[in-house]
Chain A
């Protein structure tokens, strides 16, 4: 158990819909990262938040957005869903946000999104 929690574990929805994935980081961690894992793309970095502020962006679609709240939990919002958005979505957390050798990312169990 990494200490990172994600809800829900599974999500099934239809094309065109909007969903919200939630992540609670490990106690004391200030950074949250979101990754997407699809069959054809592998694990890809989407976005990072550090202490409430966006810090880095990866291959995140404009239909996707995220935020980190004052209690440090984070939500990933996916809208206008397409079949190709079906994937595993992982959240990770770390104490800081990059820049030190101790900044290890710990991953949650993931949310499996199925778009029908």
Chain B
């Protein structure tokens, strides 16, 4: 049973910010939110993760709502190379595996 809900697809314009939503209304206190992406059958690429605070790294920002029931991944300036399937994953701190859902297919258009 899926722990996250993501829109199946979204488009964004090159150079604009891409905001990718994820719902995880049943998240528990010890569960982290992870984001990975997969570019055309390549290995999934780690983007960012967080527990309850907002996080930022060189790739993206992760905004988690105060009740932790949803989050948004922000790609600040999308490029064509950001076209990929983006996976939002909820993972407990004592869970060894990553459980991938269907993800969101993001298409960046020139």
Residues of chain A having any CB pair with chain B under 8 Å: 2, 4, 31, 33, 35, 42-45, 48, 55-56, 58, 88, 90, 92, 97-101, 104-110, 112
Contacts and interface: CB of A to CB of B under 8 A. Distances in A.
Contact of A98 (B34, B41, B43, B95): B95
A56 B34 CA distance: 20
Contacts of A58: 97
13 contacts: A31-B96, A33-B98, A35-B98, A90-B43, A90-B44, A98-B95, A99-B93, A101-B32, A104-B34, A107-B46, A108-B43, A109-B42, A110-B42
B41 A2 contact: no
B96 A33 contact: yes
Interface of B: 32, 34, 38, 41-46, 49, 51, 87, 93-102
B43 A109 contact: yes
Given A101-B32, A101-B49, A104-B49, A45 B43 contact: no
Contacts of A99: 93-94
Give the dominant DSSP class at A's interface.
strand
Contacts of B51: 101
Nearest to A105: B98
Nearest to A107: B43
Contacts of B44: 43, 90, 92, 107
B49 A4 contact: no
B96 A97 contact: yes
Nearest to A56: B96
Contacts of A97: 96
